[in-house]
Amino acid sequence: MTDASDMPKALDGLVVLDLSRILAGPTATQLLGNLGATIIKVENPSGGDDTRHWGPPFMTDDDGQPTEESAYYLSANRGKRSVMLDFSDPDDLATLTGLAREADILVENFKVGGLRKFGLDYETLSKANPGLVYCSITGFGQTGPYAGRAGYDYLTQGMSGLMSITGAPDGEPQRVGSGCVVEGEARGAEHDADDQVGQQDIEPAQIEYAVLEERHNQRGFER
């Protein structure tokens, strides 16, 4: 009987360059890794992804003592390769640019335009790698009056009206679960990246997924 771990997976051979942090991007790339892609996660040298230190809970060692590895971080970054690179260092940037030239997919969730000054935007990278699938996750999309704003789950739930359909009937709006909007966005980003072939610039936005979630529950803006 063939061991399931030895069976070929849908994305075997694909390389994903993961420049994302926190939850939505890392979850999306982990899903791609579950399907067989090789994920190269790029982290800053001064502590890595912020969620490495978000706890408790922290993982425990063989003696049952807590380590510095947070469960939050590991829940969205399992099975990835990690490299520490400083975008502002010329040598590190050259290394990163080289990785982007060889990658099939790049996922990032910086503020709109934040990577352009390093030459890591889609327009620049696609010149050297025309087949690159570039997935940029934002709070409000690439254009419009809110494009430059950062997007967080709590903010998006409130602005979309999603908080109005949970909590006590006579109480204040309540936050839904833990990262439900960014989890939904992550799955959307993973689906988009998996579904595209050739030159693509994908732009999922948190606010879109929050509104879709609220509409799915068939409730309007109550407050």
pLDDT at 67: 92
Confidence of residue 57 (pLDDT cuts 50, 70, 90): very high
Domain ranges of the chain: 11-155+181-210
pLDDT at 99: 98
Most confident of 27-41, 159-173, 196-210: 27-41
Higher-scoring residue by pLDDT: 96, 178: 96
Share of the chain above pLDDT 90, in %: 54
Tell me what the mean pLDDT of segment 25-48 comes to. 95
Tokens 């908080």 sit on residue? 163
- 66-70 and 81-84 beta bridge pairing: unpaired
pLDDT at 4: 67
pLDDT at 198: 45
pLDDT at 141: 82
- 58-60 and 66-70 beta bridge pairing: antiparallel
Lowest-confidence segment of 64-68, 86-90, 122-126, 143-147 by average pLDDT: 143-147
Confidence of residue 191 (pLDDT cuts 50, 70, 90): low
The structure's pTM equals 0.81
Can you tell me the distance from the alpha carbon of 184 to that of 160, in angstroms, rounded to the nearest whole number?
14
What does DSSP assign to residue 138? B
Q: What is the pLDDT of residues 133-171, one digit of tens each?
A: 999 988 888 888 888 888 887 788 888 888 888 888 888
Position 101, amino acid: R
CATH hierarchy code of domain 11-155+181-210: 3.40.50.10540
User: Is residue 128 classed as helix, strand or coil in its secondary structure?
Assistant: helix
Can you tell me the distance from the alpha carbon of 202 to that of 199, in angstroms, rounded to the nearest whole number?
10
